[in-house]
């Protein structure tokens, strides 16, 4: 049986495809071939999410969070601020010395994105294995898996460095900070889930009343 996407899913999907196409044209026109690698990754992720909509039943808010993460990522490499890409924008000088600067736009996007990833993995885990809901397993495993996917992202960035001579990926310190903010985002997401009260059954859908057995 073919699955027909819901209206909200179509809206999110259309919005996502539209900005990915727009940024693809922009990257090609400006010669920013580094981010073509990320565009290919975005299309692969769109395909994975689209094909798993029926089985996974992602919440609409989760789909919007994924789309916003993708938009923030595309804008980070495509929008220029003060002569540099948005990813290099300094936001709040929490740490500011010769070795590093915290907090940058790049770091915030990493924390947000892999927090959303941990949330998605938690959703898939508890949906397919309901017995894990409310357990430490449902919190620890998605966080660790999200960190692992963050490492895969760094491998993709390394591939971009090898294929394109001039990139804005950064060096060892940047990679280490990216991994730390991936872990921070995943941990915060799981803490939010841990302290969020579980959903209660809707008052609109009361359970059917039990029939009383007649006494003979």
Q: What are 19-32's pLDDT values in tens digits?
A: 999 988 988 887 77
The string of DSSP letters for 51-69 reads HTHHHH---HHHHHHHHHH
pLDDT of residue 206: 46
pLDDT of residue 113: 95
Dist. CA 19–CA 1, nearest whole Å: 31
Q: What are 78-135's pLDDT values in tens digits?
A: 888 888 888 889 999 999 888 889 999 999 999 999 999 999 999 999 999 999 999 9
Q: With cut-offs at 50, 70 and 90, classify the pLDDT of residue 167.
A: low
Higher pLDDT, 201 or 57: 57
For the cut 50, the answer to whether the pLDDT of residue 205 exceeds it is: no
Spatial neighbors of 48 by CB under 8 A, at least 6 apart, are none
**pLDDT, mean over the chain:** 85
pTM exceeds 0.95: no
pLDDT of residue 163: 65
Higher pLDDT, 168 or 5: 5
CA nearest to 171, candidates 156, 150, 157: 157
Tokens of 48: 């994975």
pLDDT of residue 169: 54
Please state the rounded mean pLDDT for residues 61-77. 93
């Amino acid at each position: 049986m073919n699955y027909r996407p819901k209206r909200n899913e179509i809206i999110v999907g259309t919005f996502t495809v539209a900005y990915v196409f727009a940024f693809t044209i922009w990257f090609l026109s400006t010669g920013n071939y580094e981010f073509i690698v990320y565009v290919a990754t975005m299309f692969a992720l769109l395909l994975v999410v689209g094909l798993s909509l029926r089985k996974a039943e992602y919440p609409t808010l989760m789909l919007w969070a994924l789309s916003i993460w993708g938009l923030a990522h595309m804008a980070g490499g495509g929008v220029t601020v003060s002569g540099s890409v948005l990813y290099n924008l300094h936001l709040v000088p929490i740490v500011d010395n010769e070795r590093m600067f915290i907090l940058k736009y790049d770091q915030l996007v990493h924390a947000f994105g892999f927090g959303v990833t941990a949330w998605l993995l938690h959703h898939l885990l508890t949906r397919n294995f309901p017995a894990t809901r409310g357990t430490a397993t449902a919190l620890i495993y998605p966080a660790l898996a999200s960190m692992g996917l963050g490492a895969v992202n760094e491998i993709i960035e390394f591939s971009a460095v090898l294929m394109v001579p001039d990139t804005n990926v950064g060096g060892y310190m940047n990679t280490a900070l990216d991994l730390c903010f991936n872990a921070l985002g995943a941990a915060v997401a799981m803490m939010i889930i841990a302290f969020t009260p579980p959903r209660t059954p809707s008052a609109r859908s009361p359970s059917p009343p039990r029939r009383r057995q007649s006494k003979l």
